Amino acid sequence: MSDNKKNKRSFSSMLMLNLFGGKDKQDIFVEDDIESPLKTIINSFRDDKVAMVGLGIFLLIVAVMLIGPLIWPIDLSFSETSQAHISPGFDLLEIPKELQNNAKDISAGSSFSVGVDNNGKVYVWGKPRITETISIDKIPEDVKNAKIVNVEAGTDHVLAVDESGRLYAWGNDRHQQINAPFNLTTQGGVVDIAAGNQMSYAVTEDGQVYGFGNSMNNDFNEFTEYQGQIKKVTTTSNSAIALTNEGKVVYLGTQSSAVKTGLPTDLENVVDIASTLESAAAITADGKVHVWGYTSVHKQNEVPEIEGNPIAIQSGRNHYTVLTDSGKVYAWGANNYKQSDIPTKIQDKSYANVFTGFYQNYVVDENGNAEAWGLKGYLFGTDESGRDVAKRLLNGGRMSLFVGAVAVVISVIIGVIVGGVSGYYGGRIDLVLQRISEMVSSLPFLPFAMILSALIGNRIEPNQKTFMIMVVLGLLSWPSIQRTVRAQVLSVREQEYVTAARALGIKNTNIVFKHILPNVISVIIVSATLSFASSMLTEATLSFLGFGVQPPQPTWGNMLYAAKDSKVIQQYPWRWVYTSIVLSVSVICINIIGEGLRDAIDPKSRER
């Protein structure tokens, strides 16, 4: 009875040591008896802190790249030039503290916002840099010294009016959009302003409307029959509409457009107007909202049920907001930046004014307290097409990892079969297979892939080209794996268990693939791991050279290719820094994992 208790106690002690540590206190012979070769490899790898850190980082990257695109998918057809080259940060809605409780007027531009307080002081926030030398936050001295009552932000410039009606303008003047007529800047009398894309408009108290800027890209007739009757003006992407003193909406150009042809003929008693890129809207005295133009894509014509009477309407790039007589705010239209999703805390309050532009919305209550919603910014900035770099990094990572993984699977399958057969049978079979392997190895991969891509050109779909790259990578990278497998098979094919298998009459194919290869699988895993890293680098190289996966489908390689211009490297570093860091870390981690596995399988390799 005592012996049984003693044996149980010894077993319990051994179990506790295995579960909760104490490995150093175990007898070496006992440890050898209870550890299988696989467990020994796992323990050796686990004791390698560098390899474990590399494994953890790489698994984290893989998890983020697999889960991220499910949460933040991308639209491959999306492009928004107004958001091109926006630097990283979430400050587009950060209203200055001095303005938050004292706001009079606010307007949002493409990547910045401008506001004025009740004392006439102007504030700028967001991403105000337009070019290397032009920045919206460089407010002119005469503006700082004036008491501004109204501001309007365009794509890359700002208009402002002081208490006497004098007009001020600053920002990008490439198309003369801030070169206002002399009488407006000196005599005053301006009652309304509108800043658009490369174009500016001003309405004077006598009903005259002035337009200045890129007239070649904007449909504006300065001799319109409605001169002297204008009360308010608003701009589309390349034209302008106006509200007359009699409450009629008129088109200020001569060319045909969706806004002009869709303008309702029976629209009367209009109290306010607004316009997006390709549509226009108006509020009539009976509280109805009318929308016309090109509205189907962004659902701008789907006006929500509005409680109360709308008294003011504002517009962004592709959405509208309405303020009712009870102070409630409603929004509809495009919602790709959550600009039409009004937060609950704002829905439950009443406001005196609503200001909307591009993708930002601001509301101000009777006490001057301002709140905002819409586009806050971008984690890693945007590229030349206004696409979110962070989203493309996630989706591109999934594609790069997938291409590398598929190429490795193909190369491992071919390499294991060729190496196993060549090493086991030897003789002429080995001779022929090795010569084929040498022929494949002698092919210069990059020039071959570039020539193949150039020959195919645009004859196949982008997805088919991606598949072709994976197959070519796999078909041309198997020789190194097969040599490793062949060497291992040659070293074990004469061992006792192989001889016993032959004596029992087991088929040669079963001996190779069921008995020999499982004993050399650890070496295959190491080779596949290192090959995975090289496949990712090769795909990135091809994409960087313009012969890999083609945009708009993102990969880490073609994202770096799009940022190879010296101007981009100097002025927009976020377009290549984050991608290169993630790619480098991934490849380094894979190599560290491979080195750790090799050392765990063959401890003597550390001594070499």
pLDDT 10s digits, 79-93: 898 999 999 999 999
Amino acid in the structure at residue 87: S
Residue among 87, 100, 90 nearest 362 (CA): 100
Residue with the larger pLDDT of the pair 376 and 507: 376
- Alpha-carbon distance values, 35 to 15, 17, 524 (Å): 13, 13, 22
Q: How far is CA 374 from CA 121, 338, 361, in A?
A: 25, 5, 6
End-to-end CA distance of the chain: 54
pLDDT tops 70 at residue 424: yes
- Asked if residues 271 and 281 have their Cβ atoms less than 8 Å apart, the reply is no
Over pLDDT 90: what percentage of the chain?
A: 55
Question: What CATH number is associated with residue 284?
Answer: 2.130.10.30
- Residue 185 banded pLDDT, cuts 50, 70, 90: very high
Answer whether residue 478 shows pLDDT above 50: yes
Q: Quick check: helix, strand or coil at residue 38?
A: helix
- The dihedrals phi and psi of 24, each to the nearest 5 degrees, come to -70, -20
In the β-sheet with 103-108, what is the strand arrangement from edge to edge?
Answer: 103-108, 112-117, 122-126
Torsion, Cα 401 406 412 417, to 10 degrees, reads: 180
- Whether residue 324 is contained in a domain is answered as yes
Q: Check pLDDT > 70 for residue 35.
A: no
Residues 354 and 467 in one domain: no
pLDDT value at 506 more than 90 = no
Report the C-alpha gap between 21 and 23 in whole angstroms: 5
**Higher local confidence (pLDDT), 205 or 492:** 205
In one letter, which amino acid is 213? G
Task: Tell me the C-alpha distance between 553 and 2, whole Å.
Answer: 73
Determine the Cα–Cα distance for residues 234 and 24; give it in Å rounded to an integer: 80
Is residue 20 very low, low, confident or very high in pLDDT (cuts 50, 70, 90)? Answer: very low
What mean pLDDT comes out for the span 487-503?
83
In a domain, residue 383? The reply is no
| Per-residue confidence (pLDDT) for residue 457, from 0 to 100 | 64
Mean pLDDT of 319-343: 95
Domain tally for the chain? 2
**From 296-305, 444-453, 474-483, 561-570, the region with the lowest mean pLDDT:** 444-453
> Is 125 within the bounds of a domain?
no
Query: Exposure pattern of 559-581 as b/e (b: 16+ CB <10 Å)?
Result: bbbbbeeeebeeebebbbbbbee
Of 311, 342, 359, which one is at a domain's C-terminal end? 359
The model carries a pTM of 0.82
**Residue environment code for 322-339, b if the CB has 16+ CB neighbours within 10 A, otherwise e:** bbbeebbbbbbbbbebeb
Cα(380)–Cα(510) distance, rounded to whole angstroms? 53
| pLDDT, mean of residues 7-20 | 46
How far apart, in whole angstroms, are the C-alpha atoms of residue 95 and residue 114? 9
Question: What is Dmax (Cα atoms) for the chain?
Answer: 115
> Is 119 part of a structural domain of the chain?
no
pLDDT on residue 36: 61
Contact between residue 200 and residue 220 where contact means Cβ atoms under 8 Å apart = no
For 258-347, where are the alpha helices, taking DSSP H only? Answer: 258-261, 344-347
- Note the pLDDT of residue 3: 53
Does residue 583 lie within any of the structural domains?
Answer: yes
> Are 304 and 422 part of one and the same domain?
no
Q: Which region among 24-33, 150-159, 184-193 has the lowest average model confidence (pLDDT)?
A: 24-33
* 176: Cβ contacts below 8 Å, ≥ 6 apart: 212, 213, 214
> What confidence tier does 605 reach under pLDDT thresholds 50, 70, 90?
low
Residue 135 is given by DSSP the state B
* Whether pLDDT at 318 is above 70: yes
Compare 454 and 374 and report the one with higher pLDDT.
374
- Those residues whose C-beta lies under 8 Å from the C-beta of residue 121, and which sit 6 or more positions away, are 98, 144, 148
355 and 393 both lie in a single domain: no
Question: E strand or H helix at 203, and its extent?
Answer: strand 199-204
Would the pLDDT of 21 be above 50? no
**pLDDT band with cut points at 50, 70 and 90 for residue 186:** very high
pLDDT at 1 over 80: no
Give helix 37-47 / helix 574-601 axis angle, nearest 10°.
140
- Ranking 28-42, 146-160, 161-175, 228-242 by mean pLDDT, the lowest is 28-42
Location of structure tokens 């790489």:
58
* Closest residue by Cα to residue 398 from 553, 550, 210: 553
Q: Can you tell me the distance from the alpha carbon of 536 to that of 370, in angstroms, rounded to the nearest whole number?
A: 49
- If asked whether residues 411 and 517 sit together in one domain, one would say yes
Give the model's confidence band at 526: pLDDT under 50 very low, under 70 low, under 90 confident, else very high.
confident
List Cα–Cα distances, 138 to 133, 141, 158, 169, 195, in angstroms. Answer: 10, 9, 11, 12, 18
More confident residue, 315 or 42: 315
Q: Write out the residue range of the structural domain in which residue 401 sits.
A: 35-77+388-607
Amino acid identity of 208? Q
Q: Are residues 479 and 537 in the same domain?
A: yes
β-pair partners for 371: 363
In tens, the pLDDT along 412-422 reads 999 999 998 99
Measuring CA to CA, which residue among 264, 316, 257, 318 is closest to residue 288?
264
The verdict on 452 and 527 lying in the same domain is: yes
Q: Which residue has the higher pLDDT, 495 or 588?
A: 588
Q: Which residue has the tokens 């009552």?
A: 149
Strands of 157-162's sheet, edge to edge? 148-153, 157-162, 167-171
Which phi and psi (to 5°) does residue 312 adopt?
-150, 145
Same domain, 350 and 409: no
Q: Locate tokens 């919602």: which residue?
A: 335
Contact 539, 469 (CB under 8 A): yes
DSSP E strand stretches across 89-134: 103-108, 112-117, 122-126
From 338, 359, 380, give the residue that closes a domain: 359
For 339-397, write each residue's pLDDT tens digit.
999 999 999 899 999 999 999 999 999 988 999 999 999 999 999 999 999 999 999 98
Helix (H, G, I), strand (E, B) or coil at 460: coil
Percent of the chain scoring above 70 in pLDDT: 92
Using 50, 70 and 90 to split pLDDT, how confident is the model at 29? very low
Query: According to the model, what pLDDT value does residue 196 have?
Result: 92
User: Does pLDDT of 454 surpass 80?
Assistant: no
* Cα torsion angle, 394, 398, 399, 405, sign: positive
pLDDT at 308 over 50: yes
In a shared domain, residues 328 and 432: no
**Mean pLDDT of all residues in 185-193:** 94
Q: Which of 36-45, 214-223, 426-435 has the lowest mean pLDDT?
A: 36-45
Average pLDDT, the chain: 87
Domain shared by 417 and 562, yes or no: yes
Residue 603 CA to residue 607 CA, distance in Å, equals 8
Residue 358 CA to residue 371 CA, distance in Å, equals 16
CATH of the domain at 544: 1.10.3720.10
Q: Show the beta-strand stretches assigned E in 334-487.
A: 353-357, 360-364, 370-374
**Cβ–Cβ contacts within 10 Å for residue 32, how many?**
10
Averaged pLDDT for residues 436-465: 77
Quick check: is 292 in a domain?
A: yes
Q: Is residue 146 part of a domain?
A: no
485 and 603, same structural domain?
yes
Q: What is the pLDDT of residue 31?
A: 46
Token pair of 477 as six digits: 């990278």
Asked if residue 304 has pLDDT above 50, the reply is yes
311 and 405 fall within a common domain: no
In a domain? residue 567 = yes
Average of pLDDT values for 113-121?
Answer: 95
**Which of residues 167 and 348 earns the better pLDDT score?**
167
Tokens at 447, concatenated: 């020039």
Mean pLDDT of 113-120: 95
404 lies in the same domain as 461 = yes
| 517 or 245, higher pLDDT | 245
